[in-house]
Each structure stands twice: as structure tokens, then as C-alpha cells.
Amino acid sequence: MEGKKKNISMAVIKRLPKYQRYLGELLKNDVDRISSKELSERIGFTASQIRQDLNCFGDFGQQGYGYNVKDLYNEINGILGLTGEYKTIIIGAGNIGQAIANYTRFERLGFSLNGIFDTNPKLVGMKIRDVEIDDIDNLGDYLAHNEIDIAIICVPRNSAQRVSNILVEGGVKGIWNFAPVDLIVPKDVTVENVHLSESLMTLSYLLKNKDLEDQE
């Protein structure tokens, strides 16, 4: 199975969280097993797409039985790296930063909130869900004493690269970036962007060109 992993495309990887979400819902509803056809009807991918995707990671389906929901859910969690705990910090306690800090769903997925940093003296010292907002000037020192897996950048675009540099220097290997800039980081650091404006512009484009997209 390890050997198989190497050829997984980003397209498959991007679909995995959707499998995780749907299987999680099936589990909650006490569904034990499901065929690729039934899963297809729920999730909206074709049955052959589903079989092909899940085959990338090993043999989960059984002819005439379908998939064992719990096994498949656990396996996908494992593949996604959701079996352990990630220590996260948030940089920037503005609107988006506070929203992320308050979003308990992430904690349930294994992402714990360990620190929040901001420059604004009015925010420093305040608490969000038991985590006190610290001055961003202390970030470098904090990272020297705390191993953090993921930093969530929610600062304005002009400060994002500077913050990113401090994080990288402090040994952070994963950055979830909400600032509308493309960060420059060393090769061993992974950045996942959430560019909200770009998403909104895509919606705008699709609305204006609805007639052209209907064939999709």
C-alpha cells in the first residue's frame, strides 16, 4: 500500500475530505456498509470514480458487499493524517482570526488551538475560548519554546510575508493562509491558501457566464 501512495494526484487528494465528510455522516446514521453505487448517489461522483479513487489507497471494497463504512472512514482519516493531534496557533485576531478560533469543529478533527497572536494592544490579553491573545512580538520566543504544527495566518496582506518568515524561522512546517498573498516559503514548508476574494470572483464569473457553463 505504501508503494501505491506515491502516484496519488492532487485531484484525488482534494476529493478525500469529501469522502471523509460523507462517511462520517453515514457512521452517525449507523450505516454499516455501502456500495460504490449508493455512495455515488450521495456524494455526486460516479461509482467508477469512487472505485478508482479508493483503489489508490488499497483494497477496501468487496465484490457484492460494498464498503465497510467504519473501516473506510478510519482508513481515510489515517490517510488524511487525522488520527493524531495538530497543535495550531492563529496569527491575527481580527474578524477571520476570531471566527477560526471560535470554530470548534476543527478541534473535533484533531486541531487544537494553542495560541493567538496580534499586534493590537486592545486585543492583547483578551481571551478566546480560554486562549489568551498574546503580543505578536512574543511569537518568535513562543515558537522557540513550543512545537507548533500549523500556523493560521489571518493578518492583513502587508504583514503576511513578515509573519510567515517568523513562523518558518520558528520551525513551523504547515501554514494555513487566509491573507490574499502568495507566501514565499522554503520547500519543506507546506502552505494551504484560503483566498476568499478569489472564491467570490469565481462565483461572479460563473454567474455572468451561466449560459456557457450549463453543459458542465
C-alpha cell belonging to residue 9:
494526484
Site track 56-95 with a second copy (rule: CB under 8 A), x = hit: -----------------------xxxx---x--------x
Pair 16, 50: CB distance under 8 Å: no
In order of 6, 35, 61, 193, the CA distances from 57 in angstroms are: 10, 17, 11, 26
Give 100 or 143: the residue with its C-beta nearer to a second copy.
100
Give 141 or 213: the residue with its C-beta nearer to a second copy.
213
Site track 162-181 with a second copy (rule: CB under 8 A), x = hit: -----------xx-x---x-
Q: How many residues bind a second copy (CB under 8 A)?
A: 61
DSSP β-bridge partners for residue 193: 177
Positive or negative, the Cα torsion across 202, 208, 212, 216?
A: positive
Give 60 or 86: the residue with its C-beta nearer to a second copy.
86
In order of 15, 32, 74, 108, 198, the CA distances from 82 in angstroms are: 15, 21, 9, 10, 28
List interacting residues with a second copy (CB under 8 A): 5-6, 8, 10, 13-14, 16-18, 20-21, 43-44, 79-82, 86, 95-96, 98-100, 102-103, 105-106, 109, 111, 149-150, 173-174, 176, 180, 182, 187-188, 190, 192, 194-210, 212-214, 216
